[in-house]
Structure 1
Amino acid sequence: MLVAFSVAPSGGGAPDASVHDAVAAAVKVVRESGLPNHTDAMFTTIEGEWDEVFDVVRRATEAVGAYGSRVSLVLKADIRPGYTGELTGKVERLEEAIRDNA
């Protein structure tokens, strides 16, 4: 499964409303998990089995909790049993389709 998630603190934090330190704490948890992952400007996507992925999301959310009195969590999941390597495979198929239709 793939899970794309965004987690951010609220109720405190930096005067300029920046959340980069909190997000860095969450991304550190993800990267240390050893699961395939990708972070972009809006989401971090991780790939793995249900229990391991949601354990990482839980721990990342807890890490962000240290930066505010509330935490906002948004996630989207692609649950496709029997498939692995989809973190890059989906993008590769998309790029191929774009080339083929150019």
Structure 2
Amino acid sequence: MLAAFSITPIGAGESVGDQVAAAVRVIRDSGLPHRTAASFTEIEGDWDEVMGVIKAATDAVLAVSDRCSIVIKADIRPGRTNTLNTKVESIERRLGEQPSGP
């Protein structure tokens, strides 16, 4: 399973960097393949592993914030691994095959 998710602390003020860092720390410590970007984190593993990390990251945010909102998008494709990288590589390969234009 490949999941893209965002945990947003609510009521913590305009800057939520400390709360988000608490969640990212849990994700990094999980040992699962992941990539954190400006608005979402992608993580890959089996269902129970991924959902467990998302719950633990949520719990870390709730330990320093009274409320949070979670958005999760999942791509479940049994038998596939390393989709965190191979999906991007597939697009990059296709872009490299296209003519560069006029």
Instruction: Tell me the TM-score range normalised by the shorter chain.
Output: over 0.9
Q: CA RMSD in A?
A: 0.9
Describe the SS at the equivalent of 2:35.
strand
Deviation at 1:70, TM superposition (A): 1.1
* Candidates 46, 50, 56, aligned match of 1:53: 50
Instruction: State the distance in 2 between where 1:51 and 1:66 align.
Output: 22
| Residue in structure 2 matched with residue 33 of structure 1 by the alignment | 30
Deviation at 1:36, TM superposition (A): 0.2
Question: How many residue pairs are counted as aligned between the two chains?
Answer: 99
Query: CA-to-partner distance for each residue in 1:53-90, whole Å, 9 max, x for gaps?
Result: 00000000011112322110001000000000100000
Query: CA-to-partner distance for each residue in 1:12-69, whole Å, 9 max, x for gaps?
Result: x24xx01111111101100100000000001000000000000000000011112322
Matched, 1:95 2:92: yes
Structure 1: state its 5+ residue gaps: none
Deviation at 1:101, TM superposition (A): 1.5
Instruction: State the distance in 2 between where 1:93 and 1:45 align.
Output: 17
| Residue in structure 2 matched with residue 71 of structure 1 by the alignment | 68
Matched, 1:42 2:39: yes
Give the structure-1-normalised TM-score: 0.93
Deviation at 1:94, TM superposition (A): 0.6
Instruction: State the distance in 2 between where 1:31 and 1:19 align.
Output: 18
Instruction: State the distance in 1 between where 2:27 and 2:83 align.
Output: 17
Instruction: State the distance in 2 between where 1:48 and 1:28 align.
Output: 17
Moved over 4 A (4+): none
